[in-house]
Structure 1
Amino acid sequence: MSRLDSMLRRLTAQRDGLNWAAAQIADHEGDVLDMGLGNGRTYDHLREILPDRRIWVMDRVLQCHPSCEPPEEDFLQGEAEPMLERLARDGHRIALAHYDFGMGIKEDDVAEAARLSPLIARVMQAGGLLISGQPLVGFERITGPDSIAPDRYLFYRA
């Protein structure tokens, strides 16, 4: 598979997974958390499909497209650990989290996801959904939409 085809497959899975998850949490309270703003495409999609939810966004630096900048009060800039601890300390509960941290080195990305999983668990509300490109630990793995290959994106319930 070409890198272009692989990227298209990943982005389609991401979109389909987010749409599926948004429908799943429709009757549940809680905020949304996008871990890894990047250029802002996922955040932009989340605010379109979940316009009435508070969407927290976390990244080391703000370097997204100007049209995708989150409100200052919803952007958590810095390393993930203190930002997740802040959300937990302030009592925020997340109904839907999207995990998209990574540097592109699989072993390092998997290790980081495992290391952050307990902190992510602290902010998730019971029954909340997580969507991730990396394996997370300590959550119930569930089946996402049929349109997504099981190895392409991972789905969890808190």
Structure 2
Amino acid sequence: MSRLDSMLRRLSAQRDGLNWAADRIRDQPGDVLDLGLGNGRTYDHLREILPDRRIWVIDRMLQCHPSCTPPEADFLEGEAEPMLARLAGQDARIALAHYDLGFGIKEQDVAEAARLSPALAQVMAPGGLIISGQPLVGFEQLTGPDSIAPDRYLFYRA
């Protein structure tokens, strides 16, 4: 599979997974968390599908497309672990989290996701959903939408 085809498959899986999860949390109270803003495409999609939810964003630095800049009060700039602790200290309860942090080196990304899983658990609302490109630990793994190949995107319940 070409890198272009792989990217298209990943983006389609991400969109389908987020839409699937948004439908399942419609009646559940709580905020949304985008871990890894990047260019802002996912954040922009979350704004569109969950317009009445507060969307927290954590990233090392703000470098997204100008149209995708989160409000200053909702952007936590810095390393994920202390930012998750800060969010937990504000008693935020997350109904839906999208985990998209990484260095681009699979072994490092998997280790980082495992290391950050307990901090993520501290902010999740009971029954909240997590959509992740990396395996997480300490959560109930779910089967996502049929349109997504197994292990392309991972789905969890807190």
- TM-score bin (small chain): over 0.9
For 1:96-117, what per-residue CA distance to the aligned partner results, in whole angstroms no more than 9, with x for missing partners?
Answer: 0000000110000000000000
**Residue 97 of structure 2: aligned partner:** 97
Q: Does 1:52 align with 2:57?
A: no
SS for the counterpart of 1:18 is helix
Q: CA deviation at 1:70?
A: 0.2
Equivalence for 2:117: 117
Q: Kindly state the Cα deviation for residue 150 of structure 1 after the two structures are TM-superposed.
A: 1.1
Q: Which residue of 2 aligns with 1:139?
A: 139
Structure 1's unaligned 5+ residue stretches are none
Does residue 38 of structure 2 align to residue 15 of structure 1?
no
Instruction: Look up the SS of the partner of 2:155 in the other structure.
Output: strand
Aligned residue type for 1:108: Q
Aligned to 2:34: 34
SS in 2 for 1:135: coil
Q: Per-residue displacement from partner, 1:77-108 (whole Å, max 9, x unpaired)?
A: 00001100011111000000000000110000
**Cα deviations across residues 21-51 of structure 1 (Å, max 9, x unaligned)?**
0000000000000000000000000000000
Q: Amino acid of the residue matched to residue 122 of structure 2?
A: R
Query: What's the secondary structure of 2:37's corresponding residue?
Result: coil
Give the Cα–Cα distance (whole angstroms) in 2 for the partners of residues 54 and 73 of structure 1.
10
Q: TM-score, normalised on structure 2?
A: 0.99
Give the secondary structure class of the aligned counterpart of 1:130. Answer: strand
Q: After the TM superposition, list the runs of 4 or more consecutive aligned residues in structure 1 that deviate by more than 3 angstroms.
A: none
Q: Once the 2 structures are TM-superposed, how far is the Cα of residue 58 of structure 1 from its aligned partner?
A: 0.6
Aligned to 2:84: 84
Q: TM-score, normalised by structure 1?
A: 0.99
1:3 corresponds in structure 2 to 3
Q: Please state whether the residue corresponding to 1:8 is helix, strand or coil.
A: helix
